[in-house]
Amino acid sequence: MVKVFKIKKENLDRFVSRELKRQLDIFKIVFGCLLILFIILGVVAKAYFIPLVGLVLFGVVFLYVSAILKGDLKALSTAFTFIIDDKAISRQVDWSQINSFMKLRAERARQRYGSSLDQIIELANVDEISVGINGIKITSINANILNGNGIINLPAELAFYEEALDYFKTNPSLYSKIVHK
């Protein structure tokens, strides 16, 4: 039995907004720490314009990064296909729906960090299935949190999301690995 899931068209904006907020939260923490450093530097050097310049610079960079991430997430949300069969769970990317700049960045990330947008997790290698309000997170026994390999997130915005959840609950070999968060 093979089940194919895609994100519903009417839920794309909600998915993009949630993921964008999650990714920008990390960005805000890093920029907040750097801004505090600029404030301390400005006070110590008695050059009070340094924090203002830092704030303006970080604001412009933040707006640029958020626009790039939003475009990427919109493109990826339409290009992702999640496939569940009797042997594996996979996330496949339809590369024809992604622009050449994104393809270039994905290839660079693959070469530098080993990360891949296409993921396959064998059911025998599933370590944990976390069910939360935003979706299902499937983690393999050889997951790498640094590059995202071995981790598949099935968002709650999937068409037939409940059917995917029922599959995990009714599969005896996977049921013991389900954790509700």
* pLDDT tens-place values along the chain, 181 residues long: 688 889 988 988 999 999 999 889 988 998 889 889 988 988 888 888 888 888 898 899 999 999 999 988 898 888 999 999 888 999 999 988 888 888 888 888 888 888 888 999 998 899 999 999 999 999 999 888 888 889 999 999 998 899 988 888 888 778 778 888 7
* Calpha distance 47→40 (Å, rounded): 10
Q: How far apart are CA 150 and CA 145, in angstroms?
A: 8
User: What are the C-alpha distances in Å from 26 to residues 2, 57, 69, 108?
Assistant: 36, 18, 13, 22
Cα 144 from Cα 142, distance rounded (Å): 7
For the chain, strand residue ranges (E) read 3-5, 80-84, 88-93, 119-122, 126-132, 135-140, 151-155, 178-180
Global confidence as pTM: 0.79
